[in-house]
Amino acid sequence: MGIEVVVEGLSKSFGRQTIWQDVSLTLPAGEVSVMLGPSGTGKTVFLKSLIGLIKPERGRVMINGVDMVSSSERRLHEVRKLFGIMFQDGALFGSLNLFENIAFPLREHTRKKESEIRRIVLEKMDMVGLAGAEGKLPGEISGGMRKRAGLARALVLDPQIILCDEPDSGLDPVRTAYLSQLLIDLNAQIDATMLIVTHNIDIASTVPDNMGMLFRRNLVTFGPREVLLTSEEPVVSQFLRGRRVGPIGMSEEKDAATMALEQARAAEEDEDDDPFTIPRQLRPSPGLPPRQGAARRRERVLSLIHQLPVPAQQAVLENLNAETLHAATAAGRRGPGAPGAVAPAQPTMAPAPARPGAAPSQPGAAPARPDPAPPGRAVPPTAPPGHRLLPPDMQPPSTGGGPR
């Protein structure tokens, strides 16, 4: 199972430039979290701080009892072996083929035999749909394949914490959708704690269990995805809808006068915010195990549900009802007593109170959204592992794969 990452009161500056201050959050073990934020708000600096590559001036990052901010390089080196990092550009060595790029951490950090290295590399390449492309050079493959090669390399040391820095950058929307599914499928298979930094709303709204946002040198929010996705904070609302009206400007934050003028104009033009519909969170592809992190999250969120804003409570309950219905339907299709059958959890169905502190309303008051059919699967569930996620033109070659 993945490892919890606890961040407490973290602050980072470069000279006189404060990047962010007093950031506190917990990445729950085995769950997927996303950090959003406009460009330049310090998301990458945050990722690097988690692994001790950048040293914040204040605060702690606790992983397995080790503080990544203040510990010696020797201890950091040990803890870093728990991490798999997918860099923004893939960070592949241009002169090494994909096999050697992906084998690199194994050769650097372990004394495994060549046969074992080969087994691990081929397994991870298959997981990300790159089987058969071992001999290709990074310059010979598409951006999407480079991303997946970077992900395979992040996986070879069996990480318990995976950090992905803008995994979608440079990908078209379809490839981004496949990558989103790949990240969820990986989480189902290895139960690692994952943090994804992105500005991509499609990834952010369909992949994670938890979401946070950095803005104006502060963590605006961090918690269950439903909190951010129902938030009425102007900056969150603007970001989710990709609108110009709001506190985020082209290069800088806007001042109060500019914002007031914009809002007056928007009101004149009747540009009210459309309601943001929360998309369903992706489920693992057919044939994969259910996500253990999702099951733990369900218990965790239910235990704190009454501390959440009311719209978030309602969204949590709608989602849980839909998941319970989906699990029951899937179990029904497999037959009684089938593995994976989920008994409806009673607390799940308890609706949120109408107001914080109010008595719970009658069961069933939280509207159960009908569970939509999953978006079109690329290939039937019988497809072999690693191939099921990919569009036809991304399928790996069936044999060979040496440099062209």
Ligand X SMILES: Nc1ncnc2c1ncn2[C@@H]1O[C@H](COP(=O)(O)OP(=O)(O)OP(=O)(O)O)[C@@H](O)[C@H]1O
Where does this chain bind ligand X (CB under 6 A)?
14, 19, 37, 39-45, 199
Which of 161, 235, 231 is closest to 196 using CA atoms? 161
Token duo for residue 306: 């009454």
Min dist CB 100 to ligand X, Å, is 28
Return the number of the residue (5 or 213) whose C-beta is nearest ligand X: 213
Q: Closest approach of Cβ 237 to ligand X, in Å?
A: 19
Residue with Cβ nearer ligand X (39 or 277): 39
Identify which of residues 213 and 227 has a Cβ nearer to ligand X in the complex: 213
Return the beta strands (E) in 270-324 as ranges: none
Most distant CA atoms of the chain, gap in Å: 70
- How far is the C-alpha of 329 from the C-alpha of 334, rounded, in Å? 9
On the CB side of 107, how many CA atoms lie within 13 Å of its CA?
A: 11
Q: How far is the CB of 88 from ligand X (least distance, A)?
A: 7
In the complex, minimum distance from the CB of residue 81 to ligand X, in angstroms, rounded to a whole number: 24
Pair 28, 209: CB distance under 8 Å: yes
d(CA 370, CA 318): 9
DSSP state of 338: -
Rounded to whole angstroms, how far apart are CA atoms 384 and 89?
A: 28
Nearest to 97 by CA among 157, 149, 155, 148: 149
Closest distance to ligand X from the beta carbon of 197 (Å): 6
Question: What is the C-alpha to C-alpha distance for residues 263 and 265, in angstroms, rounded to an integer?
Answer: 5
Contacts of 132 (CB under 8 A, 6+ apart): 396, 397, 398, 399, 400, 401
Residue closer to ligand X (CB basis): 236 or 294: 236
Nearer to ligand X, 22 or 140 (CB): 22
Q: In the complex with ligand X, which residue's Cβ is closer, 164 or 301?
A: 164
In this structure, what token pair is assigned to residue 206? 């369909």
- Least CB distance from residue 17 to ligand X, whole Å? 7
Least CB distance to ligand X at residue 56 (A): 12
Q: Which is nearer to ligand X, 37 or 386 (CB)?
A: 37
